[in-house]
Protein backbone atom coordinates (compact mmCIF):
# COMPACT_ATOMS: atom_id res chain seq x y z
CA UNK A 1 0.00 0.00 0.00
CA UNK A 2 1.15 3.52 -0.76
CA UNK A 3 2.40 5.42 2.28
CA UNK A 4 -0.62 7.14 3.77
CA UNK A 5 -1.04 9.33 6.81
CA UNK A 6 -4.71 8.36 7.12
CA UNK A 7 -5.99 4.88 6.27
CA UNK A 8 -9.59 5.23 7.44
CA UNK A 9 -11.52 8.39 6.62
CA UNK A 10 -14.97 9.86 6.33
CA UNK A 11 -15.67 12.09 3.35
CA UNK A 12 -18.38 14.73 3.83
CA UNK A 13 -19.99 15.87 0.60
CA UNK A 14 -22.63 18.56 0.35
CA UNK A 15 -25.60 17.95 -1.90
CA UNK A 16 -24.51 21.04 -3.83
CA UNK A 17 -21.30 19.22 -4.76
CA UNK A 18 -23.36 17.19 -7.24
CA UNK A 19 -24.97 20.17 -8.96
CA UNK A 20 -22.15 21.10 -11.32
CA UNK A 21 -23.03 24.01 -13.59
CA UNK A 22 -26.75 23.32 -13.80
CA UNK A 23 -27.78 24.87 -10.47
CA UNK A 24 -30.08 22.09 -9.28
CA UNK A 25 -30.24 18.32 -9.05
CA UNK A 26 -27.46 15.95 -10.09
CA UNK A 27 -25.04 16.71 -12.90
CA UNK A 28 -23.83 13.54 -14.65
CA UNK A 29 -20.32 14.84 -15.36
CA UNK A 30 -19.83 16.01 -11.79
CA UNK A 31 -21.06 12.69 -10.44
CA UNK A 32 -18.57 10.88 -12.67
CA UNK A 33 -15.75 13.16 -11.53
CA UNK A 34 -16.48 12.64 -7.82
CA UNK A 35 -16.82 8.89 -8.31
CA UNK A 36 -13.44 8.76 -10.06
CA UNK A 37 -11.79 10.76 -7.26
CA UNK A 38 -13.16 8.32 -4.69
CA UNK A 39 -12.04 5.34 -6.79
CA UNK A 40 -8.49 6.68 -6.90
CA UNK A 41 -8.14 6.69 -3.12
CA UNK A 42 -10.09 3.45 -2.76
CA UNK A 43 -7.42 1.78 -4.92
CA UNK A 44 -4.82 2.79 -2.33
CA UNK A 45 -6.58 0.61 0.23
CA UNK A 46 -8.20 3.44 2.18
CA UNK A 47 -11.25 2.43 4.21
CA UNK A 48 -13.60 5.19 3.09
CA UNK A 49 -17.10 6.13 4.18
CA UNK A 50 -19.15 9.00 2.79
CA UNK A 51 -21.86 11.23 4.24
CA UNK A 52 -23.75 13.23 1.66
CA UNK A 53 -26.17 16.13 2.07
CA UNK A 54 -29.36 16.84 0.14
CA UNK A 55 -29.33 20.59 -0.46
CA UNK A 56 -29.24 20.18 -4.23
CA UNK A 57 -32.75 18.69 -4.03
CA UNK A 58 -34.33 19.98 -0.83
CA UNK A 59 -33.02 21.96 2.13
CA UNK A 60 -35.08 21.51 5.26
CA UNK A 61 -33.98 24.72 6.96
CA UNK A 62 -35.29 26.80 4.05
CA UNK A 63 -38.63 25.01 3.66
CA UNK A 64 -40.28 26.89 6.52
CA UNK A 65 -40.49 29.89 4.21
CA UNK A 66 -42.98 27.85 2.19
CA UNK A 67 -45.10 27.01 5.21
CA UNK A 68 -43.66 23.52 5.78
CA UNK A 69 -43.25 22.71 9.47
CA UNK A 70 -39.59 22.30 10.54
CA UNK A 71 -39.66 18.64 11.58
CA UNK A 72 -41.45 17.61 8.39
CA UNK A 73 -39.04 19.68 6.33
CA UNK A 74 -36.05 18.02 7.98
CA UNK A 75 -37.40 14.57 7.18
CA UNK A 76 -37.89 15.66 3.57
CA UNK A 77 -34.26 16.79 3.52
CA UNK A 78 -33.18 13.39 4.85
CA UNK A 79 -35.01 11.70 1.97
CA UNK A 80 -33.11 13.94 -0.45
CA UNK A 81 -29.82 12.62 0.97
CA UNK A 82 -30.96 9.09 0.17
CA UNK A 83 -31.49 10.05 -3.48
CA UNK A 84 -27.97 11.48 -3.57
CA UNK A 85 -26.56 8.44 -1.81
CA UNK A 86 -28.10 6.11 -4.36
CA UNK A 87 -26.77 8.22 -7.23
CA UNK A 88 -23.26 8.09 -5.76
CA UNK A 89 -23.55 4.35 -5.29
CA UNK A 90 -24.53 3.99 -8.94
CA UNK A 91 -21.62 6.17 -10.07
CA UNK A 92 -19.14 4.15 -8.03
CA UNK A 93 -20.48 0.74 -8.96
CA UNK A 94 -20.26 1.64 -12.67
CA UNK A 95 -16.50 2.10 -12.34
CA UNK A 96 -15.92 -1.02 -10.30
CA UNK A 97 -16.08 0.24 -6.71
CA UNK A 98 -18.19 -1.99 -4.46
CA UNK A 99 -20.49 0.28 -2.46
CA UNK A 100 -23.19 -0.04 0.18
CA UNK A 101 -25.74 2.60 1.12
CA UNK A 102 -26.91 2.59 4.73
CA UNK A 103 -29.76 4.78 5.93
CA UNK A 104 -30.57 6.05 9.40
CA UNK A 105 -34.16 4.85 8.99
CA UNK A 106 -35.36 1.66 7.35
CA UNK A 107 -35.87 1.67 3.57
CA UNK A 108 -35.47 -2.04 2.98
CA UNK A 109 -36.21 -2.04 -0.73
CA UNK A 110 -33.30 0.24 -1.60
CA UNK A 111 -30.71 0.34 1.19
CA UNK A 112 -29.49 -1.28 4.37
CA UNK A 113 -30.39 0.19 7.75
CA UNK A 114 -27.42 1.72 9.53
CA UNK A 115 -25.86 -0.89 11.78
CA UNK A 116 -22.40 -0.01 13.02
CA UNK A 117 -21.02 -3.55 12.99
CA UNK A 118 -22.27 -4.09 9.45
CA UNK A 119 -20.70 -0.83 8.32
CA UNK A 120 -17.39 -1.88 9.86
CA UNK A 121 -17.66 -5.24 8.12
CA UNK A 122 -18.21 -3.58 4.73
CA UNK A 123 -15.21 -1.30 5.27
CA UNK A 124 -13.11 -4.30 6.25
CA UNK A 125 -14.14 -6.03 3.03
CA UNK A 126 -13.01 -3.06 0.94
CA UNK A 127 -16.41 -1.53 0.21
CA UNK A 128 -17.18 2.16 0.28
CA UNK A 129 -20.05 2.84 2.67
CA UNK A 130 -22.39 5.75 1.98
CA UNK A 131 -24.34 6.95 5.02
CA UNK A 132 -27.64 8.58 4.00
CA UNK A 133 -30.67 9.83 5.87
CA UNK A 134 -28.71 12.05 8.23
CA UNK A 135 -28.85 10.96 11.85
CA UNK A 136 -32.49 9.94 11.38
CA UNK A 137 -33.57 12.83 13.61
CA UNK A 138 -34.74 16.36 12.82
CA UNK A 139 -32.71 19.40 13.90
CA UNK A 140 -29.38 17.72 13.11
CA UNK A 141 -27.33 18.57 10.03
CA UNK A 142 -25.41 16.21 7.79
CA UNK A 143 -22.23 17.83 9.16
CA UNK A 144 -23.20 16.46 12.56
CA UNK A 145 -23.96 13.12 10.90
CA UNK A 146 -20.45 13.12 9.44
CA UNK A 147 -18.81 13.76 12.80
CA UNK A 148 -20.98 11.15 14.50
CA UNK A 149 -20.44 8.40 11.93
CA UNK A 150 -16.72 9.17 11.74
CA UNK A 151 -16.40 8.62 15.47
CA UNK A 152 -18.49 5.45 15.33
CA UNK A 153 -16.40 3.80 12.61
CA UNK A 154 -13.05 4.87 14.04
CA UNK A 155 -12.17 7.24 11.19
CA UNK A 156 -8.84 9.02 11.54
CA UNK A 157 -9.96 12.21 9.79
CA UNK A 158 -13.05 13.98 8.47
CA UNK A 159 -12.61 15.18 4.89
CA UNK A 160 -14.83 18.22 4.42
CA UNK A 161 -15.00 18.68 0.65
CA UNK A 162 -16.15 22.14 -0.45
CA UNK A 163 -16.17 24.47 -3.42
CA UNK A 164 -13.39 26.67 -2.00
CA UNK A 165 -9.79 25.83 -1.16
CA UNK A 166 -10.06 26.13 2.61
CA UNK A 167 -11.37 28.35 5.40
CA UNK A 168 -11.11 32.13 5.11
CA UNK A 169 -11.54 34.84 7.73
CA UNK A 170 -14.45 36.17 5.63
CA UNK A 171 -16.48 35.06 2.66
CA UNK A 172 -13.91 35.14 -0.18
CA UNK A 173 -16.64 35.69 -2.77
CA UNK A 174 -18.02 38.79 -1.06
CA UNK A 175 -14.63 39.91 0.28
CA UNK A 176 -11.78 39.43 -2.21
CA UNK A 177 -9.31 40.60 0.45
CA UNK A 178 -10.24 37.68 2.74
CA UNK A 179 -7.27 35.75 4.13
CA UNK A 180 -7.02 31.97 3.92
CA UNK A 181 -6.39 30.28 7.27
CA UNK A 182 -3.98 27.34 6.99
CA UNK A 183 -4.51 25.78 10.41
CA UNK A 184 -7.03 26.25 13.20
CA UNK A 185 -7.92 24.65 16.50
CA UNK A 186 -11.46 23.49 17.21
CA UNK A 187 -11.85 26.37 19.66
CA UNK A 188 -10.71 28.85 17.01
CA UNK A 189 -13.57 27.71 14.80
CA UNK A 190 -16.14 27.82 17.60
CA UNK A 191 -15.07 31.15 19.11
CA UNK A 192 -14.72 32.93 15.78
CA UNK A 193 -17.99 31.53 14.43
CA UNK A 194 -16.32 30.28 11.25
CA UNK A 195 -18.78 28.54 8.95
CA UNK A 196 -16.91 25.28 8.49
CA UNK A 197 -19.31 22.82 10.08
CA UNK A 198 -22.02 23.51 12.63
CA UNK A 199 -21.04 23.83 16.29
CA UNK A 200 -22.38 20.38 17.22
CA UNK A 201 -20.21 18.74 14.55
CA UNK A 202 -17.11 20.68 15.59
CA UNK A 203 -17.67 19.79 19.24
CA UNK A 204 -18.09 16.10 18.38
CA UNK A 205 -14.83 16.16 16.45
CA UNK A 206 -13.08 17.97 19.29
CA UNK A 207 -14.34 15.50 21.90
CA UNK A 208 -13.15 12.56 19.79
CA UNK A 209 -9.87 14.15 18.64
CA UNK A 210 -10.94 13.90 15.02
CA UNK A 211 -9.05 16.29 12.73
CA UNK A 212 -10.93 18.00 9.91
CA UNK A 213 -9.45 18.83 6.52
CA UNK A 214 -11.33 21.46 4.50
CA UNK A 215 -10.37 21.56 0.83
CA UNK A 216 -11.53 22.17 -2.73
CA UNK A 217 -13.14 18.99 -4.04
CA UNK A 218 -12.90 20.16 -7.64
CA UNK A 219 -9.11 20.25 -7.52
CA UNK A 220 -8.16 16.84 -8.98
CA UNK A 221 -6.31 14.61 -6.55
CA UNK A 222 -7.26 16.68 -3.51
CA UNK A 223 -8.73 13.78 -1.51
CA UNK A 224 -5.60 11.73 -2.11
CA UNK A 225 -3.35 14.64 -1.17
CA UNK A 226 -5.03 15.02 2.21
CA UNK A 227 -4.82 11.29 2.93
CA UNK A 228 -1.11 11.39 2.09
CA UNK A 229 -0.66 14.05 4.75
CA UNK A 230 -0.18 17.03 2.44
CA UNK A 231 -1.46 20.23 4.00
CA UNK A 232 -3.74 21.54 1.33
CA UNK A 233 -6.75 23.64 2.23
CA UNK A 234 -7.23 24.20 5.95
CA UNK A 235 -6.51 21.75 8.76
CA UNK A 236 -8.63 21.90 11.94
CA UNK A 237 -7.43 20.06 15.02
CA UNK A 238 -5.68 20.38 18.36
CA UNK A 239 -6.50 22.44 21.41
Q: Can you say how many angstroms the Cα of residue 168 is from the centroid of all Cα atoms in its chain?
A: 19
Q: Which residues are annotated as a binding site for UMP?
A: 54, 74, 135-142
Q: Which residues are annotated as a binding site?
A: 12-15, 54-55, 59, 74, 135-142, 162, 168, 171
Count other C-beta atoms under 10 Å from residue 138's C-beta: 16
- If we measure between CA atoms, which residue out of 60, 58, 79 comes closest to residue 70? 60
Q: Which residues are annotated as a binding site for ATP?
A: 12-15, 55, 59, 162, 168, 171
- What is the maximum alpha-carbon separation in the chain? 53
Distance CA(115)–CA(102), nearest Å, equals 8
Amino acid sequence: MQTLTYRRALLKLSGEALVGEQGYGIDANTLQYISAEIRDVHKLGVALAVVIGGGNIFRGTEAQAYGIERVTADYMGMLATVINGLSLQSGLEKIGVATRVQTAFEMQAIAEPYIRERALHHLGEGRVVVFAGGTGNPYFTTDTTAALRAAEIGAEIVLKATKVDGIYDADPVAHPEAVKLQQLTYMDVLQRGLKVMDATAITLCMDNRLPIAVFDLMQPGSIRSVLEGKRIGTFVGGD
